[in-house]
Each structure stands twice: as structure tokens, then as C-alpha cells.
Copies of this chain bind each other. A is one copy, B any other.
Amino acid sequence: MAIVRQTLIYDGPGGPFEGVIAWEDEVETPRPGVLVCPNILGQKESDNRKAEDLAKLGYVALACDVYGQGKRKTRESENVPEYMDALNADRMLLRDRLDASLAALRGFAAVDPAKVAAVGFCFGGKCVFDMARAGLPFLGGVSFHGVYDRPDYANVSPIAAKLLVCHGWEDPLCPPDTMVALGRELTEGQADWQIHAYGNAGHAFTDAGMPMAEGSGFGHEERADRRSWKAMSDFLAELFV
């Protein structure tokens, strides 16, 4: 068994976009696909590795790009939230770029286009919610320390995508009342949803490269990282039955 990865360049509004797709090369039949939605920084090596980890679970995974080819940030960049802010200010454009990313994944030869899911981290978690809210063609998704504010367009009704929300209790971007509001929104939308709230975990609890500074509410939390990945694995297995 070997995991291969390939750069995938695809079109869409404001494109071209550049992502990285990973899969296990010895499987001959189409497999379920998983879109990996990056955090504030945009598609990068840690997303490519998540795609590889999903490939090890038997899926084809695309670390996607909603900023545009060459538009990336690091923690050291000037104006780190620049590209994210632009999409937060235009959620319909974000939706259309997610739709383009989904289409690139669904159109990839090794993918069974009837079995596609999404996972996302931080801003990428918001992307997963927006895909569900907009009724994009995917079965369900997982948000890891996502952000819960609603877009300015109306949700589809019912929300057909199944959702698993992995939530850090100490996340300063999403205090408990925003989590409760999300539960209400998804219930009103008649979605099949779960929220897993992890005590002692903050924002970015999956980010092994960001140590948690005491009291900051930001950074890696090993238990929540491990448990949420297991929960995601169980969720995807159920989704793709």
C-alpha cells in the first residue's frame, strides 16, 4: 500500500485554485471522497497531511483552496486574516468556491461522486457549515474548532448533510452560547447533528504545531485532537455505509 499525492488545479470564480489530492494507489474501484477545508492560512502542508491521513482510512481526500492559486499566509505574514476576511465578507462567493472545490473532488476519477464528505478546521469548519447551509452536494461533514456565525443567505430547509461538530469548550471564538445557538440552528434545519464538546480544549485543539499557551484558549490539546479524529473516523464510516 502506498499513499500518493498530486497537485490538483481547478477552476472556479476568482480561480484558478490549487489543492493537493491524496489516495491509496492500489485500490482500483472508486472510493468515497473527503474535502479538507483549511484554516485561516489557506491550503498548506498540514492540510496535505490530513488528506494523507484520510487516504490511509480508505478515502480520496482533497486539501482544497478557496483563496486562489498562490494566495497563502503563514503565522508570520502581514495581515494574516486578509484572504479569510475577504470571504467572510462575501459568503456567497465562499459558497461558490466551495462548490467548485467539491466539483473538482467529485470529478476526480478515483472518487465515487455519490459518496463525498467534508472536514474542516477553524475557518474550514465554517466552510463545512456553509456547505450544509447552502445545500451543496455532499453527504455530511465534520467541523473541528469551527466558527458558527451564519451567512447572510437563508439556509436550505431541511439541511440534508449530516454534521459532527467537534468543539473546544474553552474556545474564545465560540463560547458556549454560540454552541447552543448552533444546536438550535441545526435543529430548526432538521439536520442530523451531533456536537462533541471537549473540556479543557480551546481553539485550534487539533493543531500540533501550536502549543497551548496557559489561559489563552488557543492551541493543541492532545486528548481532544485524538478523540475528535476517532469520532470523525466513526462518523465517516457510518456516513459511507
- Contacts from A to B (Cβ < 8 Å): 169-170, 176-177, 180, 183, 186-187, 191-200, 223, 227, 230-231, 234, 238
Contact = CB atoms under 8 A, between A and B. Distances in A.
Nearest to A227: B194
B183 A194 contact: no
Contacts of A193: 199-200
A199 B183 contact: yes
Contacts of A200: 187, 192-193
Given A180-B180, A197-B197, A234-B230, A169 B187 contact: yes
A54 to B, nearest CB: 19
Contacts of A170: 187
A165 to B, nearest CB: 9
Contact of A180 (B176, B186, B187): B176
B199 A192 contact: yes
Nearest to A184: B176
25 contacts: A169-B183, A169-B187, A176-B183, A180-B180, A183-B197, A183-B199, A186-B199, A187-B199, A187-B200, A191-B199, A192-B199, A192-B200, A193-B199, A193-B200, A194-B196, A194-B199, A194-B227, A195-B195, A195-B199, A196-B197, A197-B197, A227-B234, A227-B238, A231-B231, A234-B234
B199 A196 contact: no
6 A-B pairs closest in CB distance: A193-B199, A195-B197, A176-B180, A196-B196, A187-B199, A194-B198
A71 B20 CA distance: 63
A194 B197 contact: yes
A169 B196 CA distance: 12
Nearest to A189: B199
A195 B180 CA distance: 13
A176 B170 CA distance: 17
A162 to B, nearest CB: 9
Contacts of A177: 180
A68 to B, nearest CB: 35
A130 B238 CA distance: 33
